[in-house]
């Protein structure tokens, strides 16, 4: 029996981008003391107060089927959060609760794209984006951003790729670069979306990790609320990665159709997890800032370390839990650098090429070990760069 081309072709016949990560995990399983600076997984787990709320909800009996669009209290909490932070009036009917941001990205593309439609996204991109697009039967089309522009996308490049496209996906603050798209960039993107009649899918899962500048949701720009689907998640903002709870915010009719999709796929999110998410959102920005604080500290420490040498350059960024290092002056590709670094130093980072071709010659460093271990590991990465260049 043959499997479908859709499922066997999710990665386009190539790597899924996680080769170095898998290699590092195999080394860990073999007992090697690898320092993993690969995935966006907090080193401090979900706050006990959230877990206590989850425990109360589960023991209180909220363990059966939950409402598929989401528990009403959580939909209200998300709507209130978006209304307050973006200035765009948002009702619970504009919100669908999803099993994490990834399920939200899939549902958003299912809503925006028909079979064979071109679905645009910015390169560098989170490694799942092309497979998500292929999974709904659309054609993934990366639009390259450039290091010389600070990885801010060019509207002209998006416009040039837009023939036959139904959607554009952006991610700001950006994974992998940490770059926050400027107001000018987002305004230019919005103009292209309106002129080309594109759905804009805005991945905003890092909206609480802002170190410099401001986060602007494109849904708040004039004329964009009716064509923007915002994907959010509790994973990064509240260190709830394993709880798998996120959302899509968009026009009511689009959300209603995505509720139908959820009925035929995920069938919702466990109620006790939604209750815990509601509790977490009700704690306001204080808890979010507590969870974000370690990454702010580590970014500052990294900036100081990198400033002491002139071979490896830090991509100017303002958010997210990652650093993008430009290692092109070593003469190595990102893939070669990451693999040699892992073999020689037992430090695992992600090659820029794992996130498309725009960040070739770069590596992504996740700031996801404790402060002391992070500074030691990053210092060793910088030393290694000089060693392989000498």
Q: What residues have CB less than 8 Å from 277, skipping those under 6 apart? A: 74, 77, 234, 238, 240, 243, 245
- Residue 17 has what pLDDT? 81
Q: What is the pLDDT of residue 390?
A: 67
Class of domain 5-45+286-389: alpha beta
pLDDT for 14 equals 75
State whether residue 48 is helix, strand or coil: helix
* Domain boundary assignment for the chain: 5-45+286-389, 64-283
- Bond preceding residue 173 cis, omega within 30 of 0: yes
Closest CA to 340 of 298, 381, 293: 381
Nearest to 325 by CA among 42, 37, 14: 37
**Domain covering 64-283: architecture:** 3-Layer(aba) Sandwich (3.40)
CA distance 248 to 259: 10
pLDDT of residue 12: 87
Spatial contact of 283 and 47, defined as CB atoms under 8 Å apart: no
Burial (0-12, 13-18, 19+ Cβ within 10 Å), 139: middle
pLDDT tens digits in sequence order for the chain, 390 residues long: 999 999 999 988 777 788 999 999 999 999 999 999 999 999 999 999 999 999 999 999 999 999 999 999 999 999 999 999 999 999 999 999 999 999 999 999 999 999 999 999 999 999 999 999 999 999 999 999 999 999 999 999 999 999 999 999 999 999 999 999 999 999 999 999 999 999 999 999 999 999 999 999 999 999 999 999 999 999 999 999 999 999 999 999 999 999 999 999 999 999 999 999 999 999 999 999 999 999 999 999 999 999 999 999 999 989 999 999 999 999 999 999 999 999 999 999 999 999 999 999 999 999 999 999 999 999 999 999 999 996
* pTM, to two decimals: 0.96
Angle formed at CA 359 by CA 385 and CA 357, multiple of 5 degrees:
125
What DSSP state is assigned to residue 323? E
Sign of CA dihedral 271, 206, 301, 41: positive
Half-sphere exposure of 353 (CA within 13 A, CB side): 16
CA distance 334 to 349: 10
């Amino acid at each position: 029996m043959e499997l479908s081309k859709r499922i066997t072709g999710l990665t386009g016949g190539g790597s899924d981008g996680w080769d170095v990560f898998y290699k590092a995990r195999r080394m860990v399983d073999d007992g090697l003391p690898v320092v993993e600076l690969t995935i966006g997984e907090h080193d401090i787990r979900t706050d006990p107060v959230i877990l206590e709320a989850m425990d109360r909800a589960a023991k209180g009996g909220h363990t059966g089927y939950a409402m598929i669009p989401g528990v009403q209290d959580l939909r209200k909490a998300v709507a209130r959060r978006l209304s307050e932070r973006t200035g765009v009036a948002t009702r619970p009917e504009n919100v669908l609760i999803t099993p994490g941001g990834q399920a939200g990205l899939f549902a958003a593309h299912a809503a925006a794209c028909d079979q064979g439609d071109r679905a645009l996204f910015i390169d560098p991109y989170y490694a799942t984006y092309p497979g998500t697009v292929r999974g709904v039967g659309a054609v993934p089309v990366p639009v390259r951003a450039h290091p010389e522009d600070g990885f801010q996308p060019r509207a002209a490049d998006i416009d040039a790729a837009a023939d036959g496209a139904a959607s554009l996906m952006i991610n700001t603050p950006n994974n992998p670069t940490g770059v926050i798209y400027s107001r000018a960039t987002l305004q230019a993107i919005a103009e292209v979306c309106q002129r080309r009649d594109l759905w804009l899918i805005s991945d905003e899962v890092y909206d609480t990790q802002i170190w410099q500048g401001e986060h602007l949701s494109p849904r708040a720009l004039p004329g964009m609320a009716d064509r923007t689907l915002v994907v959010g998640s509790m994973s990064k903002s509240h260190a709830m990665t394993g709880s798998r709870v996120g959302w899509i915010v968009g026009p009511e009719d689009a959300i209603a159709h995505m509720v139908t999709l959820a009925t035929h796929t995920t069938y919702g999110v466990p109620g006790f997890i939604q209750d815990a998410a509601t509790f977490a959102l009700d704690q306001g920005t204080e808890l979010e800032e507590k969870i974000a604080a370690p990454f702010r500290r580590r970014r500052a420490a990294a900036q100081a370390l990198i400033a002491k040498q002139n071979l490896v350059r830090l991509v100017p960024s303002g958010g997210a839990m990652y650093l993008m290092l430009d290692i092109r002056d070593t003469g190595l590709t990102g893939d070669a650098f990451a693999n040699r670094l892992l073999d020689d130093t037992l430090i695992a980072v992600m090659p820029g090429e794992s996130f498309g071709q725009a960040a070739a010659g770069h590596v992504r460093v996740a700031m996801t070990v404790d402060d002391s271990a992070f500074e030691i590991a990053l210092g060793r990465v910088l030393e290694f760069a000089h060693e392989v260049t000498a």
